[in-house]
């Protein structure tokens, strides 16, 4: 019996969207099954993204564009880019909302010297896009704080722990739906340049 390859779609897999993510995988899996490609019935969750991206039995995964072009180059194969219909996305490209607290007077020209929350230094949307706009964040901002996720970065700006963050367009839309109190405390002062959206790979 041929072993089924594992699948992981972690990028927008918030608890509120687990059912939708599972339904998305079911639709993909049925197409694979119809074409004789064995696939796991359920998505793999619980391990780090890196663990899934480099798993020898990975069938399909979702990654940020920066790791795909750097640490994963030559280790996985690009398959497709989903198209998202939210503000900040255009076809296969997306950008990030640059957000500050509603009470802040900050605008793009005055961000130098502020406190910047970012999800990960390997994130195209949360860190690298800001680096492209302002140069090295550690030099441009007085303080940088790794939050571990866009949702956490938004909360930090909302509660005053940080002054600015770049939130992936899809996550910004999700925040407005599922993290309403946080989103209402934030103001968008600009958008990063559009980049290729999160790719799927195998």
Give the domain CATH number at 113. Answer: 3.40.190.10
Q: What is the mean pLDDT of residues 135-139?
A: 97
pLDDT cut 70: percent of the chain above it = 96
Instruction: Give the whole-angstrom CA distance, residue 81 versus residue 121.
Output: 22
44 domain-assigned: yes
pTM of the entire predicted model: 0.91
Question: What is the structure's pLDDT at 201?
Answer: 60
Of 52, 86, 120, which closes a domain? 86
pLDDT cut 90: percent of the chain above it = 72
Of residues 107 and 79, the one with the higher pLDDT is: 107
130 domain-assigned: yes
Q: What is the mean pLDDT of residues 76-102?
A: 93
The closest of 119, 117, 118, 123 to 71, measured between CA atoms, is: 123
Query: Do residues 52 and 141 share a domain?
Result: no
202 domain-assigned: no
Question: What is the structure's pLDDT at 106?
Answer: 96
Question: What is the structure's pLDDT at 196?
Answer: 83
1 domain-assigned: no
Q: Are 68 and 78 contacting, i.e. CB atoms less than 8 angstroms apart?
A: yes
Query: Do residues 50 and 103 share a domain?
Result: no
Question: Residue 143 sits in which domain range?
Answer: 93-196
For residue 3, the tally of other CB atoms under 10 A from its CB is 8
Instruction: Give the whole-angstrom CA distance, residue 124 versus residue 156.
Output: 19
Query: Do residues 134 and 155 share a domain?
Result: yes
Of residues 70 and 24, the one with the higher pLDDT is: 24
Q: What is the pLDDT of residues 163-178, one digit of tens each?
A: 999 999 999 999 999 9
Instruction: Give the whole-angstrom CA distance, residue 146 versus residue 50.
Output: 17
171 domain-assigned: yes
Query: Do residues 35 and 68 share a domain?
Result: yes
pLDDT confidence of 200, banded at 50, 70, 90? Answer: low
Of residues 75 and 191, the one with the higher pLDDT is: 191
147 domain-assigned: yes
Least confident stretch, 44-48, 95-99, 157-161: 44-48
Highest-pLDDT range among 34-38, 58-62, 133-137: 133-137
201 domain-assigned: no
Query: Do residues 105 and 174 share a domain?
Result: yes
- With 50 as the cut, is the pLDDT of residue 77 above it? yes
Handedness of CA 166, 168, 173, 176 (dihedral sign): negative
Backbone angles phi, psi at 130, to 5 degrees: -70, -35
Query: Do residues 111 and 152 share a domain?
Result: yes
């Amino acid at each position: 019996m041929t072993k089924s390859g594992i699948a992981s779609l972690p990028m927008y897999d918030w608890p509120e969207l687990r059912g939708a993510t599972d339904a998305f995988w079911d639709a993909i899996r049925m197409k694979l099954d119809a074409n004789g490609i064995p696939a796991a019935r359920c998505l793999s969750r619980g391990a780090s993204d890196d663990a899934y991206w480099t798993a020898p039995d990975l069938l399909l995964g979702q990654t940020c564009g920066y790791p795909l072009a750097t640490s994963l180059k030559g280790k996985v194969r690009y398959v497709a880019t989903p198209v998202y219909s939210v503000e900040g996305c255009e076809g296969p490209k997306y950008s990030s909302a640059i957000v500050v607290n509603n009470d802040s007077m900050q605008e793009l020209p005055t961000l130098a010297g502020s406190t910047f929350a970012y999800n990960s230094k390997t994130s195209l949307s949360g860190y690298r896009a800001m680096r492209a706009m302002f140069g090295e964040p550690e030099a441009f901002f007085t303080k940088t704080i790794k939050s571990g996720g866009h949702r956490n970065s938004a909360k930090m700006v909302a509660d005053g722990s940080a002054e600015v963050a770049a939130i992936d367009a899809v996550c910004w839309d999700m925040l407005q739906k599922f993290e309403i109190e946080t989103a209402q405390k934030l103001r968008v002062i600009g958008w990063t340049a559009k980049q290729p959206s999160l790719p799927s790979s195998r």
